[in-house]
Amino acid sequence: MSTTLCFDFGNTRKKVAVFQEKEIVKILVLQDDTTATIRSLVETYKPAKSILSSVIHHNAEIETILKDTTRFHLLNHLSRLPITTPVGKPETIGADRLAIACGGVHFYPGKNLLLVGLGTCITLNFVNKYRELVGGSISPGLEMRLKSMQYYTAKLPLVAPKADVPLMGYDTETNILSGTILGIAYELDGFIAAYEEKFDNFNVVLTGGDMQHLASHLKSRIFADPELIFKGLYAISEVNNA
């Protein structure tokens, strides 16, 4: 049974999904990107293929390790993709956004798609029914908003996110959570409504680590897929590591 390692190096976490054939069998959060960590993964899972999506300055030596031991692909704007990127500077599109877009068109073909990534930043990625990633938006993510209030004020605490949030806060913590989590939810509902007015045959897909805190507060009809980026990476690997 063929194994593929799909690495997603984001601003907050470094993760890897282990695929056997087309199925995810394990998702791991890595403590670091040292050569020892990557060699241990290769020795443990003996992958035939690997792919890396990175939006950080990662350890370049791991690319050499993966090239020497697997059929390896580094996701970038020159990768062979099931989408096109008719924008002014396609080389500036984050690898994570490309992977999310590819996962979206794989599972929802023929649709206008708004793919919402809820990570360090919130990304809205619009892929039209012709499989063109034509743009979107980027705004601060949940933890970034919570941390900024502590950093830029003298007395506000750093509050841990949670899904159970009151509309009207009754103390400092719940006021912060209401303003932040419900504020993001209303922001997303507004964006979704604006897209729905403009495009028909339209789906919204939510993904990313903060989905658990936000999905229940959205009024809009959405699909939720926490593993969308890994599914997109696997599909890209199959084409570029053939």
* Residues tagged active-site: 96
Give the CA angle between residues 61, 62, 67 to the nearest 5°.
100
Q: How far is CA 163 from the centre of its chain?
A: 19
On whether the CB atoms of residues 222 and 64 are closer than 8 A, the answer is: no
Residue from 49, 34, 36, 43 nearest 2 by CA:
49
The first and second tokens of residue 86, run together, are 């008719």
Per DSSP, the residues of 72-95 read: EEE--TTS--SSB--SS-GGGS-H
